[in-house]
Homo-oligomer: A and B are copies of this chain.
Amino acid sequence: MNPYALLETINDPVDLRNLPEEQLGELAKQLREFIIEIVATKEGHLGASLGVVELTIALHYIFNTPDDLLVWDVGHQAYGHKILTGRRDQFHTNRQLNGISGFPKRAESVFDTFGTGHSSTSISSALGMAMASNLQGEKDKQHIAVIGDASIASGMAFEALNHAGVSQANLLIILNDNAIGIDPSVGALKEYLTQVKVDRKLAKNNIIRALNFDYSGPIDGHNLPRLLKELTRLKKKKGPKFLHIITTKGKGLRQAEQDQVRYHAPGKFDKNSGELIPKPQGNLPPKYQDVFGHTIVELAEQNQKIVGITPAMPTGSSLKYMMDKFPERAFDVGIAEQHAVTLAAGMATQGFHVFCNVYSTFLQRAYDQLIHDVALQRIPVIFCLDRAGLVGQDGATHHGVFDLAFLRCIPNLIIFAPRNEIELRNIMYTAQLGLSNPIAIRYPRGRGKNLDWKKPFSKIIIGKGEQLTSGDKIAVISVGTISENVTEAINLLPHDEKIAHYDLRFLAPLDTELLHEIFKKHQVIITLEDGVLKGGMGSAISEFTTEHQYNSQKVISLGVPEQFIEHGTVEELQQIVGIDANSIAKQLERFL
């Protein structure tokens, strides 16, 4: 018997709305199993989507999507939405090159009203749509933002609530309260919401009501009849409304409910038992995240002044190791990048060596704080920018490719990209010895190449690049771990005596001494980075070239061109932008 018989009749929410209400329970069961089956083998974000199966069905059943406009905050939870809105048969291509995106995406479907990926944008965007509908006289249209309890605690969401509460917009905010983001939620609002759940009196006179919303709930978000009834009621109400639902992340898969952090994006697992399928481990080199996580613990054991801060990524960044070992000196501040950076600055003014670990793409959220609160005051905060460069399947919203460009224009800031695990360790060691300026250390997602990475620390001289191989014609200048691709490219070619390879290491301060040496010795200079070309490292070399009038050299810059790069494996994406070993080798060949 086809386990998805009912699900397969739903090719559009219109089909869903033609079902009798009694069948929705069965549909929820099939949708949940379908998600589990596909994600078990194709990987992706599991727990969040399992938690909103009933909500997803209820929303599309009650509201007239896509005319009524629905925004999923972050978008980890939108798999069910994708499956019910015409993408069931493509769902197995989720997050693969040329497949569907792991996040809502406007270009993919009219049901994806707003692309997401970074958190806490849903209320602002849905409010904008609702205000637009008001202006267009579409007074009955509804606009729905589904947001989790971790995301609603972020400043941007508060700004939007503060505005929405005094608007006349037909905005329905649904708080999907499961007490967890990727890691467990933190903060005073979360504590408060926890109280609201058990104290009906508190629920009657709460923060959300204070902000002028028509608050209802909390209700059980897995109780379909209850959800349907409440949404039917809210659909007819004008103005800003707020529904608080309680769900369980990972609902319907025992292990996912029990270990919500691991099952957020568990990799491959057995769809029946839920057991994780162990990856071939063997003796693998470490993840950069773990190099960071173990090294900060090692340093913190010696240096009492070391503190660690992460905005909501303790597991992803591996700061959790320090949180376990030194809970009084390592802090998860929630999805609050702006606060994290200025908090770090405040602590650093009092003599602490603060490691602030933020994903490269999320540092975009704290750009002003980096300029205004840190660099301008020359406060030596140590930024560890995780997931720099192309990140792979998370795609366009998550690539850390802008950092070199947006950091380079900030005065006083040291910018370093370690070539390997050992350099990451050594720059962390160097930074906690005390710097006179803030530093940004960027490194990629995933594993390094060295099994023997736990070497004794040695100090790195700030602003000094390094020559890796020598050659008399072409010089390749790379920055960061993309260096490996150069090494590989050179190995692919004959005449490697003609190719020199330099690791710039520091984008700022620039090692102008080394650059002069490079330009004096070589006819062709090729720059390579896993970041955008405009304004990035190659751009810095172009500036150097024109400033010092190196007119006889040919300068070629390789990196991410002027476009947003979609999802795929890192290797696929590197090929697309031409920074994989083969592409580099081809460039080199032209001049051999």
**Interfacial residues, chain A to chain B (CB-CB below 8 A):** 106, 113-115, 117-118, 121, 124-129, 131-133, 135-136, 153-166, 186-189, 191-192, 205-207, 210-212, 307, 328-329, 331, 333-334, 336, 338-339, 342-352, 361-362, 364-365, 367-369, 371-373, 375-377, 396-397, 402, 405-406, 408-412, 532-536, 538-543, 545-547, 549, 551-552, 554-555, 557, 562-564
- Which residues of chain B are within 8 angstroms of A562 by Cβ–Cβ distance? 411
Contact of B135 with A163 in the complex, beta carbons under 8 Å: no
Most buried by B among A136, A156, A538: A156
Complex CA distance for A186 and B159, rounded to whole angstroms: 11
Question: How many monomers of this protein are in the complex?
Answer: 2
Contact of A158 with B160 in the complex, beta carbons under 8 Å: no
Contact of A406 with B334 in the complex, beta carbons under 8 Å: no
Q: How far is the CB of A468 from chain B (nearest CB, A)?
A: 23
Contact of B187 with A124 in the complex, beta carbons under 8 Å: no
Most buried by B among A207, A352, A562: A562
Q: Is the interface of A mostly helix, strand, loop or mixed?
A: helix
- Which residues of chain B are within 8 angstroms of A115 by Cβ–Cβ distance? 373, 376-377
Contact of B367 with A128 in the complex, beta carbons under 8 Å: no
A408 and B346 contact, Cβ closer than 8 Å, known pairs A121-B369, A159-B336: no
Contact of A124 with B338 in the complex, beta carbons under 8 Å: yes
- Which residues of chain B are within 8 angstroms of A135 by Cβ–Cβ distance? 307, 328-329, 352
Contact of A564 with B376 in the complex, beta carbons under 8 Å: yes
Q: Which residue of B lies closest to A132 (CB)?
A: B350
Contact of A125 with B406 in the complex, beta carbons under 8 Å: no
Complex CA distance for A117 and B70, rounded to whole angstroms: 38
Most buried by B among A397, A543, A549: A543
Contact of B402 with A121 in the complex, beta carbons under 8 Å: no
Selected from B127, B157, B211, B367, the residue in CB contact (under 8 A) with A364 is: B367
Q: How far is the CB of A525 from chain B (nearest CB, A)?
A: 9
Contact of A402 with B410 in the complex, beta carbons under 8 Å: yes
List 8 other contacts, CB 8 Å, given A115-B373, A153-B162, A191-B212: A124-B342, A160-B336, A162-B188, A207-B211, A365-B367, A409-B534, A409-B536, A412-B564
- Which residues of chain B are within 8 angstroms of A564 by Cβ–Cβ distance? 375-376, 411-412
Complex CA distance for A113 and B350, rounded to whole angstroms: 10
A132 and B347 contact, Cβ closer than 8 Å, known pairs A121-B372, A334-B159: yes
- Which residues of chain B are within 8 angstroms of A114 by Cβ–Cβ distance? 345-346, 349, 373, 377
Complex CA distance for A369 and B154, rounded to whole angstroms: 14
Contact of A409 with B159 in the complex, beta carbons under 8 Å: no
Selected from B156, B166, B542, B563, the residue in CB contact (under 8 A) with A546 is: B542
Q: Which residue of B lies closest to A352 (CB)?
A: B132
